[in-house]
Amino acid sequence: DNLISWKMVMPDGRWLEVTRLNHNQGKLHDQKTVRFAVQWFKRDGLSKDGDPTILEMPGEMFRKHGLGKDVTDKFLAGLPGAQKEGCDGIITSARFILHRMPAYTRTFCLEFFGHDLSEAVPAIVEITDYMEKKRAEGVVLSGLEHLDERYIKAVKYNTKADRRELPKMILLGDVSGDNGYEVAKAVEEIIAMARQRNAEGFVAITEEARRKFWADRSRTAAISAHTNAFKINEDVVIPLHRLNEYNTGVEKINIELSLDNKLACLDAQLAYLRSDAPELNQTECIETGEGKIEDLVQHRVQAAIDHLERVRGRWQLWRDQFETPAIQLLEQLPSPVRERVREGDTMMDLLLRRDLLVKFKLDVVPFMRDNFMGFDFEPIMARLRAIHAQYKHTRLFVALHMHAGDGNVHTNIPVHSDNYAMLRKADEVVDRVMALALSLDGAISGEHGIGLTKIKYLEPEKIDKFVEYKRKIDPDNVFNPGKLMPDSSLELAYTPSLTLVEQEALILEASDLDALNNEIRHCLRCGKCKPVCQTHIPRANLLYSPRNKILATGAVIEAFLYEEQTRRGISLR
**Domain end (from 394, 415, 431):** 394
**Closest by alpha carbon to 236, among 124, 123, 401?**
401
**Which residues contact residue 32 at a Cβ distance below 8 angstroms, ignoring those fewer than 6 apart?**
58, 59
Query: What pLDDT digit, counting tens, does each position of 550-562 carry?
Result: 888 877 877 777 7
State the residue range of the domain holding 560.
Answer: 498-568
Burial 242-272 (b: 16+ CB within 10 A, else e): bbbbbbbbbbbbbbbbbbebbbebbeebbeb
CA distances from 38 to 77, 79, 80, 472 (A): 13, 9, 8, 16
Query: Are 112 and 78 contained in the same domain?
Result: no
Residue 209's domain is classified under what CATH number?
3.30.70.2190
Q: Which residues of 477-506 are buried (b: 16+ CB within 10 A; e: fewer)?
A: eebbeebbbeebeeeeeeebbbbebeebee
Give the helix ranges, DSSP H, for 241-339.
243-273, 296-320, 335-338
How many CA atoms does the CB half-sphere of 6 hold within 13 Å? Answer: 17
Using alpha carbons only, what angle is made at residue 156 by residues 253 and 252, rounded to the nearest 5 degrees? 10
Domains contained in the chain, number: 4
Whole-structure pTM value? 0.87
Q: Which residues of the chain have pLDDT under 50?
A: none
Nearest-angstrom CA–CA distance, 550 and 563: 20
Residue 235 falls inside a structural domain: no
Residue 561 lies in a domain: yes
- The three state secondary structure string of 79-106 is CCCCCCCCCCCEEEEEEECCCCCCCEEE
Are 38 and 56 in contact, with CB atoms under 8 Å apart? no
Whether residue 238 lies inside any domain: the answer is: no
Residues 39, 117: one domain? no
Q: In what order do the strands lie in the sheet with 104-112?
A: 199-204, 104-112, 169-177, 139-148, 399-403, 408-414, 231-237
For residue 443, the cross-strand partners are 237
What residues contact 455, with CB distance under 8 A and at least 6 apart? Answer: 463, 484, 485, 486, 488, 489
Full DSSP string of 135-190:
GGGTEEEEEEEEEEHHHHHHTTPPP-SS-SS--SEEEEEEEEES-HHHHHHHHHHH
**Cβ neighbours of residue 345 under 8 Å, at least 6 residues apart?**
325, 326, 327
**Residue 304 and residue 169 in one domain:** no
Q: What is the DSSP letter of 509?
A: H
- CA-based torsion, 93, 97, 102, 106: positive or negative: negative
Is residue 200 included in any domain, yes or no?
A: yes
Q: Are residues 81 and 208 in the same domain?
A: no
Instruction: Tell whether 135 and 209 lie within a shared domain.
Output: yes
Q: Give the orientation angle of helix 513-520 with respect to helix 546-566, to 10 degrees.
A: 140
Q: Are 450 and 458 in contact (CB under 8 A)?
A: yes
Q: Point out the domain boundary residue: 68, 96, 124.
A: 96
Distance CA 361, CA 372 (A): 15
Among the candidates 38, 71, 96, a domain finishes at: 96
Give the per-residue pLDDT at 174: 96
Residue 486 within a domain = no
How far is residue 521's CA from residue 499's CA, in Å, rounded to a whole number? 8
Is 234 a domain residue? no
The reply to whether 241 falls in a domain is no
Q: What is the pLDDT of residues 292-335, one digit of tens each?
A: 555 788 889 999 999 999 999 999 999 999 999 999 999 999 98
Say yes or no: 368 and 254 in one domain. Answer: yes
Q: Is residue 75 domain-shared with residue 146, that is, in the same domain?
A: no
Residue 417 lies in a domain: no
Q: How far is CA 24 from CA 28, 57, 80, in A?
A: 8, 14, 20
Both 263 and 310 in one domain: the answer is yes
Judged by phi (left if over 0) then psi (alpha if -120 to 50, else beta), residue 343 lies in beta
Q: Which residue, 143, 116, 117, 148, is CA-closest to 128?
A: 143
The verdict on 252 and 389 lying in the same domain is yes
My answer on whether 154 and 113 are in the same domain is yes
Domain co-membership, 83 together with 112: no
Q: Do 259 and 390 share a domain, yes or no?
A: yes
Task: State how far the Cα of 298 lies from the Cα of 286, in Å rounded to an integer.
Answer: 11
Q: How many CB atoms lie within 10 A of CB 132?
A: 11
> What type of residue is 559?
A
